[in-house]
């Protein structure tokens, strides 16, 4: 460590000095060299095995858990089940009075056939590679912090559950029940999404809902008897326009795609509208959900078609409530004691922090590395932030154990 302010105790300093930057970086480079796109089950299995081995250094039960079934609407309107990878769960001292939740994800947005597969040093200290920031760097930070805490005198008083899921980048539908179950009874939660390059954290987040709306009409010859048909494509387009008109302050609506249609001489009897909602509050989420159901009924009546709404608001909005404000304040004070200026701001992005907050648990969800350009081939990690953020996490956990925060 470069600074040892009087506000750090001797025990805290000893804990933080156990964090090894070189070892953390080596883990990130190894893990990021394996493709673990959300749909790459073989790569996810390999990554999960490596993570299970690494996290076995903690004094708890390590499990690889099957997720809940996930349904998807295919382009033909059939509803199928998608297979997701296993999720890593670690439970340490379940009987402790202080119980925390820590979460991360092993999947990336880069499939096995994506050209972005290798690691490159863009300049000294800046590593480019798939998932280095989002979030294999964050997972390494989490583990380093917990190993340091476990070696401290306070370690034995802290209980925690840890989840590293395999489907965060595709909405966490398979792991959502696990998140809710593990969040129960927790005092606070830390999630290891990357911070911005300057260290700024994400504060409040809007929510997200994804829907596939199946429209079933009636086919007919476009020349002989078009009046006997019921055009599903037109009905889906009408619904898309009406839903887009719901956009207002606090709610973004994005009709993204219509699957369906037929030959030019056939009235199409099938279409699927794919649409995303981004509500900024629970009230706006309720409004959007009710409006969607109402407009679906109106379209069904007006076009004489069947309309089936499939989907949900899988990520509820995440406000900064009093509990979250206290937790952010604790992280900020810990940062100050480490010579870091910690600030936060609202973001339109979503993550598992949304789900945790919806369970009533205060959460800071950008405790990972400093980095940027995530979800692109320009993704980068600022390497010095590995030890820096591990120390921030370790100190935050120690202070929670000492009840110097919440």
Q: What is the CATH number of the domain that holds 293?
A: 3.30.70.360
Q: Report the pLDDT averaged over residues 223-238.
A: 98
| 254 and 193 together in one domain | no
Structure confidence at residue 404 as a pLDDT band (50, 70, 90): low
222 and 366 together in one domain: no
| One domain, residues 311 and 332 | no
The residues that bridge with 255 in the sheet, in sequence order, are 275
Q: What is the CATH number of the domain that holds 192?
A: 3.40.630.10
Q: How far apart are CA 363 and CA 102, in angstroms?
A: 9
Global pTM value: 0.95
Is 54 among the domain residues?
yes
* Interval 272-289 mean pLDDT: 98
| The domain boundary residue, chosen from 299, 315, 331 | 315
Whether residue 4 is contained in a domain is answered as no
The tally of domains found in the chain comes to 2
Q: Give the pLDDT confidence score for residue 348 in this predicted structure.
A: 83
CA 327 to CA 189: how far, in whole Å?
Answer: 9
d(CA 306, CA 308): 7
Higher pLDDT, 405 or 188: 188
Residue 89 lies in a domain: yes
Residue 182's pLDDT is what? 98
Residues 341 and 279 grouped into a single domain: no
Domain that holds residue 254: 208-315
245 located within any domain: yes
Token pair 């994506």 is found at 114
- Among candidates 212, 214, 219, 158, which has minimal Cα distance to 190? 158
Give the Å distances, CA to CA, from 202 to 84, 108, 196, 220.
27, 19, 8, 52
Helices assigned H by DSSP within 155-281? 176-183, 232-244
Which residues, in sequence order, are CB contacts of 40 under 8 Å at separation 6+? 111, 112
> Is 359 found in the same domain as 227?
no
Question: What pLDDT is stored for residue 117 in this prediction?
Answer: 98
Instruction: Please give the Cα distance from 171 to 232 (Å, whole number).
Output: 28
Q: Evaluate if residue 1 carries a pLDDT over 60.
A: no
Residue 75 lies in a domain: yes
What confidence tens digit (pLDDT) does each residue in 340-349 have? 999 999 998 9
CA distance 243 to 225: 30
Give which of 337, 348, 227, 330 is closest to 278, Cα–Cα. Answer: 348
Q: Are residues 276 and 333 in the same domain?
A: no
Q: How far is it, in rounded angstroms, from Cα 366 to Cα 202?
A: 6
Structural domain includes residue 406: no
Does 3 score more than 50 pLDDT? no
For 327, other C-beta atoms within 10 Å of its C-beta total 23
| Three-state DSSP class for residue 177 | helix
Residues 18 and 89 in one domain: yes
Reported confidence tier of residue 113, pLDDT bands at 50, 70, 90 = very high
Asked whether residue 229 carries a pLDDT value surpassing 60, the answer given is: yes
- Backbone phi, psi, residue 397, to 5°: -65, -40
> Do 176 and 289 belong together in one domain?
no
28-58 pLDDT, tens digit each = 999 999 999 999 999 999 999 999 999 999 9
Same domain, 361 and 222: no
Q: State the pLDDT at residue 381.
A: 98
Q: Is there a domain that residue 162 lies in?
A: yes
pLDDT digits (tens, 9 = 90+) for 370-382: 999 999 999 999 9
Both 93 and 195 in a single domain?
yes
Catalytic residue numbers read: 107, 168
**Pick from 295, 315, 335: which residue ends a domain?**
315
Same domain, 191 and 214: no
- Integer Cα distance of 212 and 120 in angstroms: 39
pLDDT at 7: 87
CA distance 170 to 233: 27
**How far is the C-alpha of 166 from the C-alpha of 51, rounded, in Å?**
12
Residue that is last in its domain, among 315, 348, 383? 315
357 pLDDT above the threshold of 50: yes
- The verdict on 370 and 346 lying in the same domain is yes
Q: Is 386 helix (H, G, I), strand (E, B) or coil?
A: helix
- Say yes or no to pLDDT of 4 above 70: no
Q: What is the pLDDT of residue 237?
A: 98
């Amino acid at each position: 460590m470069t600074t040892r302010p009087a506000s750090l105790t001797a025990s805290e300093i000893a804990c933080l000095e156990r964090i090894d930057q070189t070892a953390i970086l080596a883990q990130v480079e190894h893990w990021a060299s394996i493709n673990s796109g959300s749909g790459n089950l073989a790569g996810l299995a390999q990554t999960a095995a490596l993570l299970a081995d690494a996290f076995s250094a903690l004094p708890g039960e390590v499990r690889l858990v099957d997720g809940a079934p996930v349904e998807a609407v295919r382009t033909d309107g059939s509803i199928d089940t998608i297979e997701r990878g296993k999720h890593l769960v670690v439970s340490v001292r379940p009987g402790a009075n202080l119980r925390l939740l820590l979460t991360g994800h092993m999947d990336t947005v880069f499939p096995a056939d994506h050209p972005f597969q290798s690691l490159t040093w863009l300049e000294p200290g800046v590593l480019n590679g798939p998932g280095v920031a989002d979030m294999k760097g964050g997972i390494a930070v989490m583990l380093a912090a917990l190993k340091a805490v476990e070696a401290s005198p306070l370690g034995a008083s802290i209980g925690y559950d840890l989840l590293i899921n395999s489907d965060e980048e595709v909405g966490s539908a398979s792991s959502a029940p696990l998140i809710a179950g593990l969040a129960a009874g927790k005092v606070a939660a830390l999630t290891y999404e990357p911070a911005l390059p300057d260290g700024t954290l994400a504060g409040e987040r809007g929510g997200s809902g994804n829907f596939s709306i199946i429209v079933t009409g009636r086919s007919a010859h476009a020349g002989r008897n078009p009046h006997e048909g019921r055009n599903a494509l037109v009905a889906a387009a009408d619904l898309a326009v009406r839903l887009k008109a719901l956009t207002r302050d606090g709610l973004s609506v994005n009709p993204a795609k219509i699957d369906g249609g037929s030959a030019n001489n056939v009235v199409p009897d099938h279409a699927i509208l794919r649409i995303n909602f981004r509500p900024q509050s629970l009230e706006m989420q309720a409004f959007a959900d009710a409006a969607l159901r109402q407009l679906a009924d109106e379209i069904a009546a007006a076009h004489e078609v069947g309309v089936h709404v499939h989907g949900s608001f899988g990520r509820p909005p995440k406000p900064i409530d009093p509990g979250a404000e206290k937790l952010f304040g604790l992280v900020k004070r810990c940062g100050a004691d480490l010579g870091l200026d910690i600030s936060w701001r609202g973001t339109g992005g979503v993550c598992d922090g949304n789900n945790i907050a919806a369970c009533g648990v205060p959460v800071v969800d950008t405790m990972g590395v400093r980095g940027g350009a995530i979800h692109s081939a320009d993704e980068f990690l600022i390497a010095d932030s590995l030890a820096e953020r591990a120390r921030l996490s370790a100190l935050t956990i120690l202070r929670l154990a000492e009840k110097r925060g919440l």
